[in-house]
Chains A and B, each alone.
Chain A
Amino acid sequence: MINIIQNEISKIFSRKKIYIFISILFIVALINLLNSLITRNLFASQDYGQTFPLLLFDSVASLVIPIFVVVLIASMVTDEYLDGSLKLTLLRKVSRNQLLLGKMGALFVVLFLLLLFLLIVGYTIGISFFGWGKVFLLKGKELSSSQGILFTLSVYTTSLLSYISFGMIILLFSVTIDNSGSVVALGLVTLISWVFIGEIFHKISPYLITDYFNTYNLFISNPSKEKIIFSFGVIFLYSISFYLLSFKIFNNKDLLK
């Protein structure tokens, strides 16, 4: 299994896309920096370095990173199927299940690395321009520094899980639709409409995976245990059900390319 994941990661890093993603994250970081510098001058607001990674995350969490997910999976699955290279792996001792799991494993690692990059850039820029700061202060919430770090890490990691979960929906599109443009389009439509629906109908939003892309709001509200379990339950259920469905379709599919 590890070898399949290694191969997938190796392919991803041999292509341009991932470097474009990294550049985009870096540019977003610079825009955030500029923004913080300006508001600080205008309103004497006090952004501290230790909160900067979360600020940064907030600006990419609900659209930018999910779009990366859509594009990555479409190219890993649909593009490879269409250009005929998907079967290279299947003609080795790799089952269709292992292939899909390997690809999702690679997605996990790559997103992890992207988020790690964002975190490091966030702290580096934050500290160099604003100093570490006395306390963790964000949107009126005050935490000790160590609590702040923990809080930041929790938001980053739980969001990572929700991206994988969302990825399973895209995986379903990718094994069903033999056109990567359509997969991306459908993925974006799903993403945007779900975000939109979540904004309008607050009752439904906890059931939408898009609601967990930025778990900042969840953690900041001092959630009850039940609420946290429920959230993980939703993320988990999306993952499992969409994976199983994708696998079932892929396993029965005639691979004609």
Chain B
Amino acid sequence: MNSNMIEIKKLNKSFKDKLIIDKLNLEVKKGDIFGFLGPNGSGKTTTIRMLLNLIYPDDGTIKINGYNIKKDFDKVVDNIGAIVENPKFYPYLSARKNLKLMANLISNLSNDRVNEVLKTVGLYNRADDKVNTYSLGMKQRLGIANALLNKPELVILDEPTNGLDPKGMKEIRDLITRLAKENNITFFISTHLLNEVEQICNRAVIIKNGKVISQGNVKDLINIDHEILEIHTEDGKKAYTYINDLSYVKNVKVTKQGIRVQIEKNKSDKLNKLLINKGIDIKYSIPIKQSLEEYFLKLINEGDKSD
């Protein structure tokens, strides 16, 4: 009936009058490996905390699996596994003991489940060591093991590869893709690493200052659905007024040389024609090539300027 695993509508959250999450909307579909991409301080962890009822929104709604978590969090929590910020455990206990305590809180769990998840994340051989002797990578794995314990349909991971070396990163990413496929788990993964999204996610949003600045299928994002044109003209300001409201124009700025426009793909001819028709004298129209990385950085920098 409902193909959305997560539905966030107009989510708002302030800390001490500072708006941290600003009318955030997003949808995660069942089966997605969803990338929640944003630079440091953009509000990823804050959003995840709200998804897990650890902090409360000022406004807006969050639905998980169709349930509004404000009322029915107890109906969905069984179905979620999560890491928030850094994976935290009782450091004075072994990994196995930590998981056993967690397993004790889950009903109808097979006795062997703790060993199963320890094997899944490759910690079985170190399971009896105290967590305070663990490396960050091991803690991340243990976090994932804990998140998998209750056989959830949705796993929320906050920067799961943060602080890992390239090999560790690859292992975690492989694990996520494998779990998504084999166990039909929907993943919601926050990260500030674009290539992580490229590698494992099918859909993503990019946020900045608590606002969604771009979203969609990662394929389309990679294939960037926008291009940028540098149009050199004397009539920059005039051109600006003509095209600012066009539906296929995402963004226009008046520059020294003329204007810089961000438009939908394959619309540059149309735009050039229109400007010529309006009598704008175009000297050059230069398409700017961009990689996803540039695109991402640019989006983020634009966010900065609008502050």
B84 at the interface (CB under 8 A from A): yes
Chain A residue at minimum C-beta to C-beta distance from B13: A254
- Tell me, rounded to whole Å, the shortest Cβ–Cβ distance linking B307 to chain A: 23
Within 8 A of A (CB), among B78-133: 78, 80, 82, 84-86, 88-93, 97, 101-102, 104-107
Q: State A252–B97 Cα separation when bound (angstroms).
A: 31
**Chain A residues with CB under 8 A of B93:** 11, 14
CB-CB contacts of A1-24 with B at 8 A, as 1s and 0s? 001101100110011000000000
Q: Is B17 part of the binding interface, using a Cβ–Cβ cutoff of 8 Å?
A: no
| Per-position binary interface string of chain A over residues 107-142, scored 1 when its CB falls under 8 Å from any chain B CB and 0 otherwise | 000000000000000000000000000000000000
Size range of the chain A interface in the assembly: 20 to 34
A86 nearest CB neighbor, chain B only: B88
**Is A42 at the interface (CB under 8 A from chain B)?**
no
CA–CA, A91 and B88, complex, Å: 12
Decide yes or no whether A225 CB sits under 8 A from chain B.
no
**B4 to A: closest C-beta gap in Å:** 21
Report A-chain residues with C-beta under 8 Å of the C-beta of B56: 252, 254
Indicate whether A87 sits within 8 Å of B92 (C-beta atoms), given known contacts A3-B104, A11-B101, A95-B74.
Answer: no
* Residues in A neighbouring B53, C-beta threshold 8 A: 90
Contacts of A84 in B (CB 8 A): 84-86, 88
Closest approach, in angstroms, between the C-beta of A59 and any C-beta of chain B?
A: 31
Check A190 for interface membership: any CB of B closer than 8 A: no
Inter-chain CA distance A87–B89, complex, in Å, is 10
Shortest Cβ gap from B74 to chain A (Å): 6
Query: With an 8 A cutoff between CB atoms, is A83 at the interface?
Result: yes
Q: Smallest CB-CB separation from A83: which chain B residue? A: B88
CB distance from B75 to the nearest CB of A (A): 9
Q: Is residue A237 contacting chain B, with contact meaning CB distance below 8 A? A: no
* B76, closest chain A residue (CB): A93
Determine whether the beta carbon of A93 is less than 8 Å from that of B74. Answer: yes
- In the bound complex, residues from chain B placing their C-beta under 8 Å from that of A10 are 101
A93–B106 contact, CB under 8 A? Answer: yes
Query: Contact check: which of B54, B77, B85, B146 meets A254 at CB < 8 Å?
Result: B54
Given known contacts A7-B101, A14-B92, A85-B90, A91 and B106 CB-to-CB distance under 8 angstroms: no
Q: Any chain A CB within 8 A of the CB of B259?
A: no
CB neighbours of A15 from chain B (8 A): 92
- Complex Cα distance A143/B106, Å? 51
In the bound assembly, the distance between CA atoms of A212 and B55 in angstroms comes to: 38
- Nearest residue, chain B, Cβ from A10: B101
CB distance A93 to B84 under 8 Å? Answer: no
A92 to B85 Cα, complex, angstroms? 17
Bound form: Cα–Cα A90–B84 in Å: 12
| Bound-complex Cα distance A256 to B107 (A) | 27
Known: A255-B55, A256-B55. A92 touches B88 (CB 8 A): no
Query: Does the CB pair B105–A93 fall under 8 Å?
Result: yes
A94 interfacial by beta-carbon distance below 8 Å: yes
The answer to the question of A200 belonging to the interface, with a C-beta cut-off of 8 Å to chain B, is no
Cα distance A6–B88 in the bound complex, in angstroms: 20
Type the 1/0 row for B276-288, where 1 means its CB is closer than 8 Å to any CB of A.
0000000000000
A113 to nearest B CB, angstroms? Answer: 19
B193 → chain A closest CB, angstroms? 23
A88 CA to B90 CA in the complex, in Å? 9
State how many angstroms separate the Cβ of A241 from the closest Cβ of chain B.
25
The answer to whether A92 touches B106, judged by C-beta atoms less than 8 angstroms apart, is yes
Distance of A72 Cα from B175 Cα, bound (Å)? 39
Residues of B within 8 A of A (CB): 49, 52-56, 74, 77-78, 80, 82, 84-86, 88-93, 97, 101-102, 104-107, 146, 150
| 19 A-B pairs with C-beta separation under 8 A | A4-B105, A14-B92, A14-B97, A15-B92, A85-B89, A87-B52, A88-B88, A89-B105, A91-B52, A91-B84, A92-B77, A92-B106, A93-B74, A94-B105, A252-B56, A254-B56, A255-B49, A255-B55, A256-B55
